[in-house]
Amino acid sequence: GQQLNQSPQSMFIQEGEDVSMNCTSSSIFNTWLWYKQDPGEGPVLLIALYKAGELTSNGRLTAQFGITRKDSFLNISASIPSDVGIYFCAGQLEPGGTSYGKLTFGQGTILTVHP
């Protein structure tokens, strides 16, 4: 099935460093979402973006909805050990109604933070 192209696939960083990951698609999305998944858990929403060009922050996390509506990035500043996990981007194609449940996910970025 269709998936978004997410990069990098994995990152190994030192505590305190900043992190950047991005997602691209050949399709236009109306909504971009960023999730984090810990082992044995389901994805948890970090940030939701609804307008092209939108820049949204959630604590140390900042995400942007690309102006072409085909890409998005997520930045994490001053990483800490609990940032470890798998980060997924997801896009929603159709607007309105019950179609909001249908998300297309990227392959994920595995983040490891060394103390």
Partner 1 sequence: DAGVTQSPTHLIKTRGQQVTLRCSPKSGHDTVSWYQQALGQGPQFIFQYYEEEERQRGNFPDRFSGHQFPNYSSELNVNALLLGDSALYLCASSVGTSGANVLTFGAGSRLTVL
**Is residue 114 close enough to count as binding partner 1 by CB under 8 A?**
no
**Is residue 108 close enough to count as binding partner 1 by CB under 8 A?**
yes
Burial category of 54 from C-beta neighbours within 10 Å (exposed 0-12, middle 13-18, buried 19 and up): middle
Work out how close the CB of 7 gets to partner 1 at its nearest, in angstroms, rounded to a whole number: 13
**How far, CA to CA in Å, does 65 sit from each of 15, 17, 19, 56, 57?**
27, 23, 17, 9, 12
**Is residue 103 close enough to count as binding partner 1 by CB under 8 A?**
yes
Residue from 73, 76, 92, 111 touching partner 1 (CB under 8 A): that is 92
**Is residue 59 close enough to count as binding partner 1 by CB under 8 A?**
no
Nearer to partner 1, 19 or 34 (CB): 34
**Is residue 99 close enough to count as binding partner 1 by CB under 8 A?**
yes
**Is residue 7 close enough to count as binding partner 1 by CB under 8 A?**
no
Question: Could you count the other beta carbons within 10 Å of the beta carbon of residue 79?
Answer: 21
Contact 33, 106 (CB under 8 A): no
